[in-house]
Structure 1
Amino acid sequence: MIKSTFGMAALVLACAGAMTVLPAGNAHAADASVKCDMVYNLSGWSLLYKHAEGTGSITCDNGQHANVKIAVVGGGLTAGKYRINGGKGEISNVHGIADVFGDYAQAGAEAGVVKSSQAQVLTKGTVSLALAGTGEGVNLGVSVGKFTISRP
């Protein structure tokens, strides 16, 4: 029950954040037909302030590939420590791998004891990043912040 409640909250917050914070450009998005997949490992902690770091690999359907560094910072009503191994992400509405780098708006809800889970939809303009992953840890709360993908 808690997981489904927080999962719904994450989706609502992510969508609301995307609609109110970041404008969409329909003409630009229609031209962006490349899809990229990301595999990542992430670990972090939160106590009102949220911080996590990790690494990953991105492969696009146009043949482009890059190793990446991930950083998550933010704040909210959160507490816990967690680790995600082998998480998966899908990045859409890009022209190429250069479009995946940068800061994504993040709003989410987390819930977990021993087995931790993460599912979020993040945005950077017209670019969307859907994340899913499971791992270990204890975390509970609602947070808003920034998810950054950069070169190592």
Structure 2
Amino acid sequence: MIKRTFGMAALVMACAGAMTVLPTSNAQAAEASVECDLSFNLSGWSLIYKHAEGTGTVTCNNGQTARVKITVVGGGLTAGKYHIDHGKGEISHVHSIADVYGDYAQAGAEAGVVKSSTAQVMTKGTVSLAIAGTGEGVNLGISAGKFTISKL
């Protein structure tokens, strides 16, 4: 009887705690309703160490726009040289354009000869960045690193 009562009390307290937390999380998610688009060009190389740089423009649905610098660094089993032209990205769960800047965790697998392509989803806390692009070059491998968006 004591075990059952203790178990029920723990369950009730856990549910009460969850109910207390849920409205706060939903309110924060509702507030982060700004969606931003990233258009970019990027070129880089990799030979175990991966490095790429480029520029782009972030345009948000609240009217904010900014020119940005993009830097990609990392490591892994990669080799190649490439460039991505007219890449596109979607950034979600932001309050304003200020939330776009920073380091996004990146992991991916790349493969291409002459025509090269990439598609990745990255995160920075609750902010998500999905990118896609095509270009030219040779790249092959698996890597991990960071994708950084900073003010230009």
Q: What TM-score range do you get, normalising by the shorter chain?
A: 0.7 to 0.9
Q: Deviations over 1:18-74 (max 9, x none)?
A: xxxxxxx94433421000001000000000000000000000000000000000000
Give yes or no for contact 1:29–1:126 (8 Å, CA) kept in 2.
Answer: no
Identity rate, percent:
77
Corresponding residue of 1:40: 40
Letter in 2 for 1:121: V
For residue 98 of structure 2, give the secondary structure of its aligned residue in structure 1.
helix
Which 4+ residue blocks in structure 1 deviate beyond 3 angstroms?
25-30
Give the whole-Å Cα distance in 2 for the aligned partners of 1:126 and 1:61.
Answer: 18
Give yes or no for contact 1:41–1:56 (8 Å, CA) kept in 2.
Answer: yes
Q: CA RMSD in A?
A: 1.2
Answer yes or no: is 1:148 the counterpart of 2:148.
yes
Letter in 1 for 2:105: A
Corresponding residue of 2:102: 102
Return the TM-score normalized by structure 1. Answer: 0.82
Return the TM-score normalized by structure 2. Answer: 0.82
Greater RCO, 1 or 2 (C-alpha within 8 Å, sep 6+): 1
Corresponding residue of 2:6: none
Structure label with greater radius of gyration: 2
User: Which ranges of structure 2 fall in alignment gaps of 5 or more residues?
Assistant: 1-23
Corresponding residue of 1:126: 126
Give the whole-Å Cα distance in 2 for the aligned partners of 1:55 and 1:72.
Answer: 11
User: Which ranges of structure 1 fall in alignment gaps of 5 or more residues?
Assistant: 1-24
Letter in 2 for 1:33: S
**Number of residues paired by the alignment?**
128
